[in-house]
Structure 1
């Protein structure tokens, strides 16, 4: 197959799209990615990339075409400009892609959903199927994470969202609850399908990187969070829990990643004099994550207390489960139910620091054997539900089915 992937974020930004495209190439498919200039999550262009640098490259066999965009910056106005600039510049870049043959277009949708608009243009011009993978719900996510409550603005976004959904031949969703959320907007339930995110195979192979590249990890009982440190994650709950447990000097919180809320969290830690309980490590290559998680006693999963986040199944949950360590989840809804179903850790209601502190202490006081059993349960659940080979097989069937339907019309 010749596949065009449209994703606003791609290598060297760390998203699962990278691994999907790499696997597609390894399985003999030709993959072109239309993406932006890398700037996530720090909000400025990566070193070696820019308006006149590395706009086209080949990485791991994937042909990468980067369209202009305004970097995210660190405020809402610049973030909005980032979203709009990708759509406008992406449309112009899409014009240059019409000369190529593609069998289908695949959109890997994280926020913003508007990244699908250039893909729709190509779909209609080339008369090929469009498959979109929804990992963030809009306009719900705009309201919950962006703090936008203006009904007119949300209504206009809703119109764009419905246009995008109507233009898709197939909608894959990363959470079961998203099926109802999308279909309740009036879209055909038959074209919506649950396709959970998998964890990269490197999480099952701890020898993919050199341990000497790791930052020092504190001694004691380490609770580790990896990934984007943004407002949606609600990580201030960890600081509140740490304050409750401040007499337990050997309980540490290790945050690995960057994001819009990181500086704010570091200031809170300093203000509450909890510097000895927290270690912040800058974003690291995904290849190092299994080695870091192998040094954790528990993996921390957190999202804010909001209805849209209760429908979400965060990708890091699969990575945590693949790593085979107990999970401390401060979260509601589908993710919480998944951890409980797997018997993979302890769960508290999102935003409840007292419950989180209690769960931390419970896990801390468990025997090594009890914690190992939770980790084993997590790994077993991953093997049955989130293993890459199983989910890629399902993905190929979906792509082939859509191409066959398109060819028959």
Structure 2
């Protein structure tokens, strides 16, 4: 089968969306499918096009055996509502250049958000006369409203109608959480059309995490009890309070917080750490997945956070699965679906969101009881192998694709 995959976010970018896309491509190629990818010039999450791609309008290359067409996108490190809108619209338009380079596929798989990419998908569906599957990772614009980035208005109501129009014109819709699934069905998207295809983790990559030298040695952190946060530091994560938790633990010299990744809220977190005069919180730039696995393999607990908002109750943090795959106990500051998974796995400690005192207590508990951490970590590894491996997610996505292309 020939699969055309349209996604704004793709490696070498990092984060949940590029990782999900990458693992689908890896799996599809292993199963013998031909894969074509249309994506943006890499710029996420820093908002700066990576150096080797600067000045390009279209770039063609191979990645894991797939044909990848990268097109121009407006990128800006300043993440304002206007700059994000232009970023999304620019790729939705420029992705149409892919029509000049791709072969006619059997099926089109497109990730949303960005919402406007749905129009691009419909154009490909109509011109190529092939079924369209929308892989929905967030409900937009509702997510932007709930996170305080947009206000309820005529514009958001119009965008919501556009969102529902795209769902209605697609052949299948896949979603990453049960909350999104319930929302779409409650909004009259036919139940037969919507499928749950959760995120997960490549358990093979993270199974090798403890091999190799300790990467923390070069940072002077070898021998410390390390709580690592790995991934995008974004609006929904509410990480600023972690600096206050680190301040409460500053008297314990053996404990260190390490943030690995980029995001729009990284500067805010660093500023708060500097204001508090902390030397127990450290920042490392984005890492390739294999290097990230080594960092996780030499850490003692994985930190995952969400803001204290109803919207965040429906978010499942992919970083939790990475920690579990490395047999790390998870410290979650959050509620909802992420907490439900952690409780079911018995793989960590959960506290209320944005509560520095409770976070400090949870870290202290794991610091004082290393055997508890090892036990929780073992539970997590077993849980993701059985429930949340990328292979299982990709198997489910392949089932949805087969249903979409099957004559009706």
1:12 matched residue in structure 2: 12
1:50 matched residue in structure 2: 54
1:81 matched residue in structure 2: 86
TM-score scaled to structure 2, two decimals?
0.93
Q: 1:390 to 1:208 in 2, by over 3 A?
A: farther
| TM-aligned CA deviation for residue 115 of structure 1 | 2.2
1:158 matched residue in structure 2: 160
2:227–2:258 Cα contact (<8 Å) kept:
yes
Distance 2:142 2:307 in 1: 13
For structure 1, the 5+ residue unaligned runs are none
Q: 1:213 to 1:169 in 2, by over 3 A?
A: farther
Query: Deviations 1:66-123 (Å, cap 9, x if unpaired)?
Result: 12211133131222210111112223x15425x72211011133x4232232112111
1:253 matched residue in structure 2: 257
2:284 matched residue in structure 1: 281
Q: 1:395 to 1:82 in 2, by over 3 A?
A: same
Distance 2:130 2:170 in 1: 10
2:70 matched residue in structure 1: 66
1:96 matched residue in structure 2: 100
| Greater RCO (Cα-Cα under 8 Å, separation 6 or more) | 2
Q: 1:156 to 1:210 in 2, by over 3 A?
A: farther
2:174–2:195 Cα contact (<8 Å) kept:
yes
| TM-aligned CA deviation for residue 46 of structure 1 | 0.2
1:351 matched residue in structure 2: 354
2:8–2:91 Cα contact (<8 Å) kept:
yes
1:73–1:79 Cα contact (<8 Å) kept:
no
Distance 1:300 1:212 in 2: 18
SS in 2 for 1:65: strand
The 4+ residue runs of structure 1 with deviation greater than 4 A are: 207-215
| Matching of residues 110-189 of structure 1 within 5 Å | 111-145=113-147, 147-189=149-191
Distance 1:207 1:106 in 2: 35
| Matching of residues 318-337 of structure 1 within 5 Å | 318-337=321-340
Distance 1:390 1:112 in 2: 25
C-alpha RMSD of the superposition: 2.0
Q: 1:211 to 1:121 in 2, by over 3 A?
A: farther
SS in 1 for 2:287: coil
1:371 matched residue in structure 2: 373
Within the alignment, does 1:21 sit opposite 2:20 as a pair? no
TM-score scaled to structure 1, two decimals?
0.92
Q: 1:157 to 1:51 in 2, by over 3 A?
A: farther
